[in-house]
Amino acid sequence: MKTGIFTAAFPKLSLAQVAQWASEVGFQALEIACWPAGEEKDRKYGGVVHIDVKSLTPAKAQEINGMLSAKGLSISSLGYYPNPLHPDREVREHSIEHLKRVIAGAGILGVGVVGTFVGRTWDNEASGRVWQKDIDLNFELFKKIWPDLVKFAADKGVKIAIEHCPMLWPDTWPGGSNLPYSPALIRRMFEILPNKNFGLNFDPSHLVWLHIDYIRFIYEFKERIFHVHAKDMDIDRDMLYEDGIVTCGFRWQRPRLPGMGLIDWKRLLTSLYDVGYSHVVSIEHEDRSFEGTEELVKKGFLIAKHTLDLHLNV
């Protein structure tokens, strides 16, 4: 396995600048942020553009690949994480249109994986705020939208890697804005779409605060893990005492860098080796203790790299 980074943590740097630093400190791959150019940031990292897929040409792709190859880097994935099931039709169609551009861009670049979300819709009037009815409503929309996206990706030689984060924010509670966040929902998703190019971007941090066994998850979904996000998770026990689990961790879950949270990275990486995963472990930096300046972000990535390097040759 190779170590890489998700470039979205460097919104003010160009791809060449990120690549230069990543190469100098020994990273081997980049997961490249590909939100639509010119859009305002909506969520954390949303709006970061290190490759403008709308204007990407074969010549530009060759130039990007050449630049990265000269620095000893590969592209592990193109990343764009919108809500393709959004209840606002205009927002939904915009997300789907750009996701197709990212997939097409991956095809032009020769990148095998695109990381994204399934998304989630909500209709309180139709579902009556009943959890199961809301889930059924979402899967009906999923059946209408996602088969075409997966086929489009297959035609481009690209795999879709869905991150299993519920995307819970105060304005999306209690359902979140990404449907397949638990094993039961993920199984249902794959029953509907068993296509071989449709899988997961495995991120153990979400499973920690959801109290889902991340090691068991690896073994169950081993054939569907196309990409891995290395992100840790800690729980603020005092805040959990104050708020309880119904708040879904708005104040008590704390994203951390690998090695600074509750995840057993040696066991996790050993399990990935066991199931035959041989792609990239890409550090997704969301640790608030190492944000605010470019220097702190870089320091955070290096701390994470040290943790992963200790165990990648188990």
| 3-state helix/strand/coil string of 104-160 | HHHHHHCCCEEEECCCCCCCHHHHCCCHHHHHHHHHHHHHHHHHHHHHHHHHCCCEE
**pLDDT for res 132:** 59
CA quadruple 134, 136, 140, 145: dihedral sign: positive
If one compares 115 and 247, the residue with the highest pLDDT of the two is: 115
**Which amino acid, 190?**
F
User: Model confidence over 261-273: pLDDT tens digits?
Assistant: 999 999 999 999 9
Three-class SS of residue 8? helix
Q: What confidence score (pLDDT) does residue 85 get?
A: 93
Residue spans per domain, the chain: 2-311
Q: Residue 51 — pLDDT band, cuts 50, 70, 90?
A: very high
For the question of whether the overall pTM of this predicted structure is more than 0.85, the answer is yes
Mean pLDDT over 213-242 rounds to: 96
Contact 254, 234 (CB under 8 A): yes
Contacts of 89 (CB under 8 A, 6+ apart): none
Q: Does 43 or 84 have the greater pLDDT score? A: 84
What is the per-residue pLDDT for 250?
Answer: 81
Whether residue 169 is predicted with pLDDT greater than 80 in this model: the reply is no
- DSSP 3-state percent helix, strand, coil across the chain (nearest 5): 45, 15, 40
pLDDT band at 173 (very low <50, low <70, confident <90, very high): low
Q: How many Cβ atoms sit within 10 Å of the Cβ of residue 276? A: 9
The continuous run of DSSP H or E covering 68 comes out as helix 58-70
Note the pLDDT of residue 40: 64
pLDDT band at 38 (very low <50, low <70, confident <90, very high): confident
Beta bridge partners of 30: 5, 75
pLDDT tens digits along 121-133: 876 555 444 455 6
Are 33 and 285 spatial neighbours (Cβ–Cβ below 8 Å)?
no
**May I ask the CATH architecture of the domain 2-311?**
Alpha-Beta Barrel (3.20)
% the chain with pLDDT above 90:
81
Using a pLDDT cut of 70, give the percent of the chain over it. 92
